[in-house]
Structure formats: C-alpha cells, structure tokens
Amino acid sequence: MRWVNRQVGRRGGVLLGATPILLLLLLYLLLAANRHALNPMDKILPLPVGMAQAMSDLLFTPDQLTGHLLFWADTLASLQRLSIGLGIATAAALLVGLVLGVLPPVRATFGPLVTSIAVIPPIALLPILFIALGLGETAKVALIVIGIAPVMVRDIAAHVAAIPREQIIKAQTLGASSWQIMIRVALPQAMPRLFHAVRLALGPAWVFLISAEAIASDVGLGYRIFLVRRYLSMDVIIPYVIWIALLAIAMDAAFAILGRRLFPWAQGASH
C-alpha cells in the first residue's frame, strides 16, 4: 500500500503524535541523568526534581523585595500585555481591513502605506518606541501591535476584497448602500477569517512580547527567563518555556473552538 493512502485513525493519531514527544523527553532524562552521574551539581541539564524545587520557590514563596508570588506575577503581566496588544491589533485589523477591502478608493489611498509598514521589521522600531513612549507598558504593547497588526490588516483586506463580485452586486440590487454592504455582507464574512488571523498572529505576538520584556522590564515571563540566564538557571528557564508553550497551545485551541462555535456556516468553505 502506498504511504499517501495510509490513513491514521483517531487513536492511532494520538499514539503516533505522542511518540516523538515522549522519546524526546526520555532522551533529555537520559542525558540529564548521565551528566548528574558525573557531576551532581550540574546546572545545564537539570533533573525534574531540581526544576520542581526551583519552581516551588517562584510558585509558592512570596518574593522578599516585592512580596509577590513571582511566577504568577510574571504570568499575569505577560498575559495582560499580550491580550491588550492582541486586542488592539485585532480591532485595527477588522476596522482597517474591512474599509480597505470594501472601498476601492480607500484601498488605493492607504493600501501602499499598510504594505510599507508591514515590511519594516518591528524589532527595528523598538528603539523608537522606547524613546517615544518610555520604558513602560505602552512601548511593549505598541511593539506587539506594530508587529502583528499590519499582517492582519492585509489578510483581512485581501479576504474581504475576494468576496465574489456577484454577492456585492446582488446586495446592491437588494437596495444595500456601501455602509450596509460593509456591516451586513463584508463584516460577518470577515469574522471567521479574523479568528484565523488571530491564531496565526499568536506566534509572532509572543515573540515580540518576550523581546520587549527581555530588553526593558521588571516583571514578565520573558523578563524572568533573561534574568535567570545570568545564573545559568536552566531549572527555571525550562519550566518557564514549557509554561509559555502550554499557554500558547491553550490560546490557540480556545480561538479554534470559539471560531467553530460562532461561525458554523463557515465550515469547509473559504467563502
């Protein structure tokens, strides 16, 4: 039987998908145990016991300086920045994307501007943001917004512009104005795509968040990782990275499920 025809069932899929992850874990444990056998004080590949000890301090013991539980304070600060940034970018994408997609004169005027902004590497703008907005929360959120919004705007605008011409004509023969076409025809059909765009933007959003936190911050997941790097604290870095991965997976899944629930009509069709 050809490999292209080998279908994998649900249970088989779970099993196959888990195998490489488990193998990788096993490999790590073997290597770590090996290193610890040679040097019980090894810091580079900590054993799970070591990670649990280091993390329990961050999880349950209040910090001497601030009195916060650091792990939770970091998580809260990062998620707050991320969600504000994503929120602003999403709103901008919907608003600007819709107008660009539906109204040809607006597209002709602002399309090139959006394209130009989208090609600038956002990290290159970080110094400008820090100079203009200071080192506080605003600059970090602004980096996330500038990093992901242009791509989302272009995606939504392209999707809206690709709504079949027949639908727009039909709406006009039913008496719809530009405004009515925008809110009743284009907006609802842009929504599933917006959810999709947010899911795709989650990855870059995390990148910009960690970057901003690494450079100037006093709390946050990215800040903590870069702080403890000075002490080679792999026993903190690795659990933090796993935690970030889990948060990202949970957010992605939440958007996927929500999108399916809210837009049952959009399943299986691009338009």
Partner 1 sequence: MSPLLSLRNIWVEYGDRIILEKLSIDIEAGSFVSIVGPSGAGKSSLLRLILGQEAPTQGVILLDGTPLTSECGPDRGVVFQRYSVFPHLSALRNTMFGIECEKAPLSARLFGKARRAAQDEAAEMLDAVGLGDSMHMFPAQMSGGMQQRLAIAQALVKRPRILLLDEPFGALDPGIRADMHALINRLWRDYALTIIMVTHDIREAFALGTRVLSIDKRRRDPHAPHRFGATAVYDLALRKKEPDPVPDEANPVSPETVSSH
Q: What is the CB neighbour count within 10 angstroms for residue 187?
A: 15
Q: How many residues does the chain have?
A: 271
Matching residue, tokens 């970030």: 244
Across the chain, the runs of DSSP E, i.e. the strands, are: none
Smallest separation, CB 259 to partner 1 (Å): 13
Using CB under 8 A, which residues numbered 146 to 165 contact partner 1? 164
Q: Are residues 168 and 185 in contact, defined by beta-carbon separation less than 8 angstroms?
A: yes
62 - beta bridge partners? 69
Specify the stretch interacting with partner 1 by CB under 8 A; choose among 15-23, 95-103, 177-185, 238-246.
177-185
Q: Which of 141, 234, 237, 266 binds partner 1 (CB under 8 A)?
A: 266
* Region near partner 1 per CB under 8 A, out of 31-39, 119-127, 171-179, 249-257: 171-179
Specify the residue, 183 or 245, whose C-beta has the smaller distance to partner 1.
Answer: 183
Based on its alpha-carbon atoms, the radius of gyration of the chain, rounded to whole angstroms, reads: 24
- Other Cβ atoms less than 10 A from the Cβ of 198: the count is 22
> Nearer to partner 1 by C-beta: 66 or 177?
177
> In this chain, which stretch among 22-30, 58-66, 175-183, 251-259 interacts with partner 1, using CB under 8 A?
175-183
Q: Which of 1, 125, 147 is nearest to 81 (CA)?
A: 147
**Segment interacting with partner 1, rule: CB under 8 A, options 21-29, 64-72, 111-119, 261-269:** 261-269
Evaluate whether 8 touches 17 at the Cβ level (below 8 Å): no
Which of 227, 18, 187, 209 lies closest to 95 in space, CA to CA?
A: 187
Cβ-proximal residues to 125 (8 Å cutoff; 6+ apart), any chain: 143, 146
Span 180-219, contacts to partner 1 by CB under 8 A: 180, 183-185, 188-189
**DSSP assignment of 235-251:** HHHHHHHHHHHHHHHHH
Query: Contacting partner 1 (CB under 8 A), which of 52, 59, 169, 249?
Result: 169
Residue number with CB closer to partner 1 (29 or 262): 262
Nearer to partner 1, 5 or 173 (CB): 173
Looking at beta carbons only, is 138 or 177 nearer to partner 1? 177
- Name which of 185 and 237 has its Cβ closer to partner 1: 185
Q: Which is nearer to partner 1, 67 or 164 (CB)?
A: 164
Minimal CA–CA distance to 107: which of 45, 156, 175, 70? 156
- Per CB under 8 A, which region of 50-58, 81-89, 122-130, 174-182 contacts partner 1? 174-182
* 231 alpha-carbon distance from chain centroid: 28
CB of 168 to partner 1, least distance (A): 9
Residues that bind partner 1 (CB under 8 A): 164, 166-167, 169-177, 179-180, 183-185, 188-189, 263-269, 271
